[in-house]
A and B are shown apart, each in its own frame.
Chain A
């Protein structure tokens, strides 16, 4: 019977391969970044080509964390280098990460301080940075409100703009990353709140916050209602479901790289208290269970070399964290995003925020709170004041439990950041 034969064959092959998986000297680079297949391929072929034997494996957050925790619990493992966002690292126990002082350094003192995760030593090395910006299809430009400068929009103008499009085409064409993997919480934390309340935590339930959420409702009214499925706005820009979009620079990159002439990138809008925006920082770290510490440190050092940083920029659309001259021949997405970010941070009313720091394992719950506030107020249509007052207590609990002091744009605090 041929089925039997093929089963035998499979068994034989399995035994061979099960015994053949001998140890190699590869450094396993276990990452949550550069996941899209093309980016992962570019990481392997370009960024890590000169770094010796490195096995770059990007993963979803779930498997990434599960494997890492398993190795930490078992006390031995194969992961050599971790690549993840600041938030992923800050949720970890700093004792599980090897101190990296002297291995490499980013050019930004702010980033280096964040990377200490509240300890005295570098727990991770800032690796690359990005931000959130706006992008629009050129089809949307004729509908810009009169007198509006696309590089200095206000939230009111954005709402009017999207409203003009809706009126003219009958469709809401603003795209917002409210999908399951969308980064909506960062919009509230780094953009809406700073622009309307000049704070994130202290001002969570202030009267200005009520105004902010009213604006959010107005914006949502001219937002493509399918936005609850959108997580990577480049897709909707390309297929025309969205004409104007807010998202992470690397999640808009596909649109610019595929049809560079069809889209424009521009700064996030401003509110009464300035043009709020926030950086994204990814870092590299070494878990205490890394099999070959020296090789891992060599990979970390390699990631911070200027030429690696430029290769990383081309591969992932994340910008360097070291001082390096940007060449002229960068991909369209990098050029577009770079100039939008520069305009945003250079604008007169810039109100830069920092990433949440000191929240530890409660970082996820912190973001969840903002997402739920959005879901209840905007999607569920519940009373703004009521929702804010209810969530205010939970926010204060999170701050007290983690002991996190305020970060910019909130005014500094002694002890846990108070919700006012």
Chain B
């Protein structure tokens, strides 16, 4: 156990420290190296992508990327993706977090059933549900709108929102809230002043999930948007039949915005020690 190292004296301690650092570095490499390969292939000429053995240093050929730069509709699709993902984020937290709180704080008849229903939604494949949903959307005029697609993506993201906020609310002692009540807070003010700051990182976590789920969802996006195509529907579903170098470049283009988003919100996610270490 690498964490054990800090307590042992002398050399063992030092050795443990090295093992610990080595493990961290190794795990980072495990995540990054496959992405680095994607980068190499993105920045390679078509010949290099097909060559063997592969070079491990990119040759900075921007041909594949510039193909997509000239691709009509990329920017609109990018904008649509961001709008849909943003709406999904807001809606899934707005309706998911209260339910997570209810699950963690109250015992009420039907609680188990409710939890199963929430889980059910993730255990059934969306491509099968897309047909009745599309019929419903066409009839109601939700079809081909960012809002309509966001509704479907929220269905996918809301179980994450409920369960993550549930487990985090459960981690906050009820005594904390009770103490606030005795100090004159109402349930609402106790919630906003005591619980909410504690839970913020968890909410950010579920926001990230919601964003990423929406960002990466292809099937519903392909079926339910026409004029307002998302980037993923626009690119990804046609990548597998495309030449290799474009496959990689397209994949790269899809991955980057998601990484930037996670990077942008990471401080909310990771600020939790500052708040939680009470």
List chain A positions with a Cβ less than 8 A from chain B: 3, 7, 10-11, 13-14, 17-18, 21, 24, 26, 28, 35-38, 40-41, 44-45, 55, 57-60, 62-63, 66-67, 69-71, 73-74, 76-78, 181, 231-232, 234-235, 238-240, 254, 258
Not counting A7-B86, A28-B226, A73-B131, a sample of 19 additional A-B residue pairs whose C-beta atoms are within 8 angstroms of each other reads A10-B82, A10-B90, A13-B79, A13-B83, A13-B86, A14-B86, A18-B145, A21-B144, A37-B238, A41-B72, A55-B226, A57-B226, A59-B222, A62-B127, A70-B130, A70-B131, A78-B143, A78-B226, A254-B243
- Give, as a whole number of angstroms, the nearest-CB distance from B63 to chain A: 12
Looking across the interface, which residue of chain B has its beta carbon closest to that of A18? B147
The 8 A CB mask of B72-83 against A (1 = contact, 0 = none) is: 100000011011
The verdict on A63 contacting B223 (CB below 8 Å), with A10-B87, A239-B51 known, is: yes
**Contact status A232-B139, CB under 8 Å:** no
The verdict on A63 contacting B83 (CB below 8 Å), with A69-B131, A181-B240 known, is: no
Interface of B is mostly: helix
Looking across the interface, which residue of chain A has its beta carbon closest to that of B80? A17
Which listed residue (B68, B83, B127) contacts A17, Cβ 8 A? B83
- Give, as a whole number of angstroms, the nearest-CB distance from B205 to chain A: 13
Please measure, in the bound complex, the distance between the C-alpha atom of A284 and the C-alpha atom of B133, giving whole angstroms: 27
**Contact status B46-A258, CB under 8 Å:** yes
A and B contact pairs by CB, cutoff 8 A, 7 listed: A14-B84, A17-B79, A21-B228, A24-B227, A41-B72, A71-B138, A73-B135
**Contact status A17-B146, CB under 8 Å:** yes
Looking across the interface, which residue of chain A has its beta carbon closest to that of B93? A7
- Give, as a whole number of angstroms, the nearest-CB distance from B78 to chain A: 12
Number of A-B contacts (CB under 8 A): 134
Complex contacts, A181 vs chain B, CB 8 Å: 240-241
Complex contacts, B150 vs chain A, CB 8 Å: 14
B176 within 8 A of A: no
Please measure, in the bound complex, the distance between the C-alpha atom of A45 and the C-alpha atom of B188, giving whole angstroms: 59
B30 within 8 A of A: no
Looking across the interface, which residue of chain A has its beta carbon closest to that of B242? A36
Please measure, in the bound complex, the distance between the C-alpha atom of A7 and the C-alpha atom of B233, giving whole angstroms: 23
Looking across the interface, which residue of chain B has its beta carbon closest to that of A10? B86
Looking across the interface, which residue of chain B has its beta carbon closest to that of A2? B264
Of the listed residues A11, A45, A66, the one surrounded by the most CB atoms of chain B closer than 10 A to its CB is A66
Which listed residue (B130, B143, B238) contacts A40, Cβ 8 A? B238
Please measure, in the bound complex, the distance between the C-alpha atom of A144 and the C-alpha atom of B193, giving whole angstroms: 81
Q: Which of B128-158 contact A (CB under 8 A)?
A: 130-131, 134-135, 137-139, 143-147, 150
Looking across the interface, which residue of chain B has its beta carbon closest to that of A45? B72
- Give, as a whole number of angstroms, the nearest-CB distance from A278 to chain B: 21
Complex contacts, B79 vs chain A, CB 8 Å: 13, 17
**Contact status B127-A37, CB under 8 Å:** no
The verdict on A78 contacting B241 (CB below 8 Å), with A7-B90, A66-B130 known, is: no
- Give, as a whole number of angstroms, the nearest-CB distance from B54 to chain A: 10
B219 within 8 A of A: yes
Complex contacts, A37 vs chain B, CB 8 Å: 67-68, 71, 235, 238-239, 242, 246, 250
B265 within 8 A of A: yes
B268 within 8 A of A: yes
B2 within 8 A of A: no
Which listed residue (B83, B145, B222, B268) contacts A60, Cβ 8 A? B222
**Contact status A11-B86, CB under 8 Å:** yes
Interface of A is mostly: helix
Q: What are the 10 tightest A-B residue pairs by CB atom distance, in nearest-first order? A: A10-B86, A70-B134, A63-B222, A74-B138, A36-B242, A238-B50, A239-B50, A18-B147, A14-B83, A67-B223
The 8 A CB mask of B149-183 against A (1 = contact, 0 = none) is: 01000000000000000000000000000000000
**Contact status A59-B241, CB under 8 Å:** no
Complex contacts, B241 vs chain A, CB 8 Å: 35-36, 181, 232
Q: Which of B194-227 contact A (CB under 8 A)?
A: 204, 219, 222-223, 226-227
Complex contacts, B145 vs chain A, CB 8 Å: 18, 21
B244 within 8 A of A: yes
The verdict on A14 contacting B51 (CB below 8 Å), with A38-B246, A235-B244 known, is: no
B89 within 8 A of A: yes
**Contact status A67-B243, CB under 8 Å:** no
B237 within 8 A of A: yes
- Give, as a whole number of angstroms, the nearest-CB distance from B188 to chain A: 19
Please measure, in the bound complex, the distance between the C-alpha atom of A55 and the C-alpha atom of B91, giving whole angstroms: 31
**Contact status B242-A38, CB under 8 Å:** yes
Please measure, in the bound complex, the distance between the C-alpha atom of A58 and the C-alpha atom of B237, giving whole angstroms: 9
Complex contacts, B143 vs chain A, CB 8 Å: 78
Please measure, in the bound complex, the distance between the C-alpha atom of A77 and the C-alpha atom of B134, giving whole angstroms: 10
B56 within 8 A of A: no
- Give, as a whole number of angstroms, the nearest-CB distance from B148 to chain A: 8
B52 within 8 A of A: yes
**Contact status A74-B144, CB under 8 Å:** no
Please measure, in the bound complex, the distance between the C-alpha atom of A7 and the C-alpha atom of B242, giving whole angstroms: 35
Complex contacts, A35 vs chain B, CB 8 Å: 238, 241-242
Looking across the interface, which residue of chain A has its beta carbon closest to that of B51? A239
Please measure, in the bound complex, the distance between the C-alpha atom of A67 and the C-alpha atom of B143, giving whole angstroms: 11
Please measure, in the bound complex, the distance between the C-alpha atom of A24 and the C-alpha atom of B51, giving whole angstroms: 46
